[in-house]
Amino acid sequence: MAVVLKKRKREVGAISYKRGGDESYLRPQYNEKTPPCKHTCPSGNDIRGFLTTIAQSEEYGRSIEESYEKAWRVLTQTNPLPAVLGRVCPHFCEGECNRKGKDEAVSINAIERSIGDYGIKNKLQHEKISDESRSEKVAVVGSGPAGLSCAFQLARRGYPVTIFEGFSKSGGMLRYGIPAYRLPEDILDAEVSAIEALGVEIRYNTKVGKDISLDDLKKDYKAVYLAIGAHKGWNLGVPGEDESGVINAVEFLNKINAGERVEIGNRVLVIGGGNSAVDAARASLRLGANPQIVYRRTRDEMPALAEEIEDTEAEGIHIEYLAAPVEVIRDGGKVTGLKCIKMELGEPDASGRRRPVPVEGSEFVIEADMVIPAIGQGPDFTGMEQFEDNGWITADANGATSEVGVFAGGDVTNKLGTVTEAIGLGRKAAQAIDCYIEGVDVPKEYPPPVIKHTNMAINYYTASACAEKSHVAVKDRVSNFNEVVSTLADEQAIEEAKRCLSCGMCFDCGNCYNFCSYNAVIKLPKGEHYKFNLDACVGCKKCAEECPCSYIDMI
């Protein structure tokens, strides 16, 4: 009897592949992953997106100008203040950058600044998400980063938005808490103007709770977003601080940034270790004083940005570590010094840092003409007392408070967070307000898994050093408030963007196509990358093993 062979088409995934004695029934699939930079960015910026847009200009036949504008539009989907954040963001993204598994993190923050500056220079205008014009009005209280972010996102959705600002200019702590040598006023003005161009109205010198009541806002507006910031500096709680010669850092920086003259004398002592302390000390130096910083822990525990501490030290400002204030010393009402006590570090506290413990009998005096406490700050709840909860406002993850139609975010809910956190909170609140007005639930987000460098073919990439930021020489900067750090040149920014590994997303390296021995990878038109012909695939895993960015999973 003759043997009849029947031809049968293989079902996808039905054939196994033997390699080294192991059978594989797995098949490759292209799956985007979340890069750690985006995962750790409180603003939710598509960092990989704007970096690769610039890096791949030549491959996609775009001019660098076209790529910069496209990158600006990618970035401003989530952050309307890229030039501002490019100067003041603590760049959590760089701390988790997978490039550190190879050499150094990509200078993401520096490229963000370059993109933001390009947008300002070329007067780029934001685009709305929808052409629909909504009738429901929304009030935003405060024009700091959270308020501006929320107003921006609502205006993009077509809502009429009015920001009520108690000061004479916009920006909140961006303007009144950060010195011009870090954030020039014209940079902030330009990016706020672009937000206003969407139709956002800002009413200045209008303090909600004083000039207009919150109840009146609730009558005229469908929803209210409280982004009142934290503009009240905390006192030291020591004898002698309640008279002249002591001014908290919040008030001091506010006056300096508002152009007021502040008599501070020669010997200035700043108490604290955060960015406000560093800013107050460096501002004092530029006003002609001889400042020192007193901090109760060590340099390792200072919450100020590392690069700001380095600049402070480079400018010759002494930091007295492991010391805490005990009493402001006076002579005839005039400040002459600060009595301090030495500290030692004990067990970690709630912040995770080791708790400073006084050393008995170690008191000493530092001479001073002015003492500037920079130990913290809080909100002013005048006219909004019903929302105060232990000094702050309690809101859910979307910014909703206990009162229907009232949302809150920024420092007032985040207990003195960062600017990038405020931007993210404002964006989330805008989405929640939109859903509240529409009468629907806020959609849940399910981002792809985060990819780590340990799961990437990291050796594919060539090692390279990150771009160096240029600083104005110390001798040329300590007598003025001119900007200290410069924006990267275009050539630097382009080369730095090329250091991005494109973690979890195809960048057309071609490895999967080149290493496949079975013609199972099909090259698609530019920008569409590749696809698999699973009928030809034998599950050898070579494509996944050779994919540098871990875009391929075997399933």
89 exposed, middle or buried (CB, 10 Å; 0-12, 13-18, 19+)? buried
247 and 296 co-located in one domain: yes
Sign of CA dihedral 449, 451, 457, 461: positive
Instruction: Give, in degrees to the nearest 5, the angle at Cα 284 between 277 and 180.
Output: 80
Closest CA to 427 of 259, 225, 137, 267: 225
Query: Does residue 449 fall inside a structural domain?
Result: no
Cα distances from 471 to residues 281, 299, 477, 483, 529, in angstroms, run 18, 22, 9, 9, 41
Indicate the residue type of 71.
A
Three-state SS sequence of 39-50 = HCCCCCCCHHHH
The reported pLDDT for the residue numbered 8 is 32
**CB contact set of 385 (below 8 Å; sequence gap of 6+):** none
Query: Does residue 8 fall inside a structural domain?
Result: no
Distance CA 252, CA 280 (A): 7
118 and 194 co-located in one domain: no
The reported pLDDT for the residue numbered 24 is 74
- Provide Rg for the chain, Cα atoms: 28
Residue 466: both structure tokens together? 């990150």
Distance CA 230, CA 416 (A): 7
Number of domains in the chain: 4
Query: Does residue 445 fall inside a structural domain?
Result: no
186 and 79 co-located in one domain: no
Cα distances from 539 to residues 37, 523, 534, in angstroms, run 32, 18, 9
Q: How far is CA 417 from the centre of its chain?
A: 10
Torsion angle (degrees, nearest 10) of CA 425, 429, 432, 436: 160
Distance CA 105, CA 198 (A): 35
347 and 250 co-located in one domain: yes
The reported pLDDT for the residue numbered 23 is 54
CATH label of the domain that carries residue 106: 1.10.1060.10
Strands 28-30 and 552-554: antiparallel
Residue 411: both structure tokens together? 């420092």
Sign of CA dihedral 190, 194, 195, 199: positive
Closest CA to 492 of 94, 40, 111, 142: 111
The reported pLDDT for the residue numbered 480 is 96
Q: How far is CA 181 from the centre of its chain?
A: 19
Query: Does residue 129 fall inside a structural domain?
Result: no
Query: Does residue 11 fall inside a structural domain?
Result: no
Closest CA to 141 of 220, 216, 214: 214
463 exposed, middle or buried (CB, 10 Å; 0-12, 13-18, 19+)? exposed
Residue 237: both structure tokens together? 């709680």
331 and 241 co-located in one domain: yes
pLDDT per residue of the chain (555 residues) written in tens, 0 to 9: 333 333 333 344 434 444 444 457 899 999 999 999 999 999 999 999 999 999 999 999 999 999 999 999 999 999 999 999 999 999 999 999 999 999 999 999 999 999 999 999 999 999 999 889 999 999 999 999 999 999 999 999 999 999 999 999 999 999 999 999 999 999 999 999 999 999 999 999 999 999 999 999 999 999 999 999 999 999 999 999 998 999 999 999 999 999 999 999 999 999 999 999 999 999 999 999 999 999 999 999 999 999 999 999 999 999 999 999 999 999 988 999 999 999 999 988 887 888 999 999 999 999 999 999 999 999 999 999 999 999 999 999 999 999 999 999 999 999 999 999 999 999 999 999 999 999 999 999 899 999 999 999 999 999 999 999 999 999 999 999 999 999 999 999 999 999 999 999 999 999 999 999 999 999 999 889 999 999 999 999 999 999 999 999 999
Distance CA 218, CA 403 (A): 11
Closest CA to 512 of 482, 553, 480, 474: 553
Q: Is the pTM of this model over 0.85?
A: yes
The reported pLDDT for the residue numbered 5 is 30
296 and 353 co-located in one domain: yes
Q: How many residues does the chain have?
A: 555
Distance CA 235, CA 374 (A): 9
Residue 24: both structure tokens together? 């594989």
189 and 270 co-located in one domain: no
Do the beta carbons of residue 33 and residue 93 sit within 8 Å?
no
Do the beta carbons of residue 550 and residue 503 sit within 8 Å?
yes
419 and 491 co-located in one domain: no
Do the beta carbons of residue 227 and residue 415 sit within 8 Å?
no
Pick the last residue of a domain from 394, 410, 438: 438
Distance CA 87, CA 112 (A): 9
Query: Does residue 451 fall inside a structural domain?
Result: no
CATH label of the domain that carries residue 216: 3.50.50.60
Strand (E) or helix (H) holding 191 = helix 185-196
**Secondary structure of residue 298 in the 3-state scheme:** coil
CATH label of the domain that carries residue 542: 3.30.70.20
Residue 163: both structure tokens together? 């920001």
Range of the domain at 519: 17-32+506-554
